[in-house]
């Protein structure tokens, strides 16, 4: 049976397209793209012809089924806007349906904003938590963020240019101004910028105030233990969150994640404050 190739494409610098990726894009019958305009420019640059079909975040199941049906006639390559397919794009759904239909799914590795940002962050870790683009709903967004923060691994987030200022401000308020962050703008492109510092200091930095383009943020929880934060400090922080209108539950989740301590400890201190 025909094969579905997931082809990694450049996240900015066209020189990063691998020889294998170029060969696959040349030999498949159809290239399916998240953004056909961007992909056609890429293919034209490398003098690659052939048919190009669209499959994006707003495509319905019928479109996914149609793309899978193309595999009955020959190999198909799927590419995202930029980078490795299957991360924050419709690739995962396509893979699931294609594999269920009996087709082999073949990865063709390439550039990834996730791996690239982690490599330049300088944060030592055995892994990372990838959140992609955060949800629009604030309650859901903070719930996911707090859950990831409690794991204690670096967190990688994708942010668009219009949301970067609001996102950085919210992260600073939620996680603390001293949280270390590496902000990557326009990775591998001509105007690439990489800034690494405490998140409270980057709010007024030109990288987000006047910059344009796509952003990848890497947040570092840092090694913090129960012994490094006293009950007195915790009570002061809990009271401050209560005064801002945060619920007992949300305050417990937030501070447990911030200090890498048990939620039960924070909740118990919160009860003591309420009793007083």
* pTM, full prediction: 0.78
Report whether 103 contacts 68 (CB < 8 A).
Answer: yes
What is the dihedral angle through the alpha carbons of 39, 6, 111, 160, rounded to the nearest 10 degrees? Answer: 60
SS3 164: helix
The CATH classification number of 3-111 equals 3.40.1010.10
- Rounded to whole angstroms, the Cα distance separating 173 from 89 reads 29
Domain ranges of the chain: 3-111, 114-220, 226-275
Q: Residue 89: is its pLDDT beyond 80?
A: no
Q: Which CATH superfamily is domain 114-220 in?
A: Tetrapyrrole methylase, C-terminal domain (3.30.950.10)
Helical H segments across the chain, by residue range? 19-27, 36-45, 61-70, 91-100, 113-121, 138-151, 164-175, 199-202, 206-209, 231-243, 248-259, 263-275
More reliable by pLDDT, 209 or 257: 209
Q: What is the reported pLDDT for 222?
A: 62
pLDDT in tens, 251-262: 888 888 778 777
pLDDT in tens, 38-82: 999 999 999 999 899 999 888 888 999 999 999 999 999 999 989
Q: What would the DSSP string read from start to end of 101-138?
A: TT-EEEEE----HHHHHHHHH----S--EEEEEPPSSH
């Amino acid at each position: 049976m025909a094969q579905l190739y997931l082809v990694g494409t450049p996240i900015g610098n066209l020189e990063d397209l691998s020889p294998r990726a170029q060969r696959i894009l040349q030999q498949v019958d159809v290239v399916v793209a998240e953004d056909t305009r961007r992909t056609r420019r890429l293919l034209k640059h490398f003098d690659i012809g052939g048919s190009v079909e669209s499959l994006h975040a707003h495509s319905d199941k019928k479109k996914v089924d149609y793309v899978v049906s193309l595999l009955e006639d020959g190999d198909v390559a799927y590419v995202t806007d930029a980078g490795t397919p299957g991360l924050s794009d419709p690739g995962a759904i396509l893979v699931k349906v294609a594999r269920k239909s009996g087709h082999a799914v073949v990865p063709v590795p390439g550039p990834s904003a996730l791996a690239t940002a982690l490599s330049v962050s300088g944060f030592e870790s055995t892994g990372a938590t990838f959140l992609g683009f955060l949800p629009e709903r604030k309650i859901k967004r903070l719930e996911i963020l707090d859950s990831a923060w409690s794991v204690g691994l670096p967190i990688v987030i994708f942010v668009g240019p219009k949301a970067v200022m609001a996102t950085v401000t919210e992260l600073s308020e939620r996680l603390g101004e001293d949280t270390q962050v590496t902000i990557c703008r326009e990775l591998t492109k001509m105007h690439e910028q990489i800034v690494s510092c405490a998140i409270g200091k980057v709010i007024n930095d030109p990288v987000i105030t006047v910059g344009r383009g796509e952003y990848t943020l890497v947040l570092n929880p840092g090694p913090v233990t129960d012994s490094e934060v006293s009950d007195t400090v915790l009570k002061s922080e809990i009271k401050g969150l209560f005064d801002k209108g945060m619920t007992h539950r949300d305050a417990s989740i937030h501070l447990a994640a911030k200090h890498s301590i048990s939620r039960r400890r924070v909740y118990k201190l919160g009860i003591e404050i309420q009793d007083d």
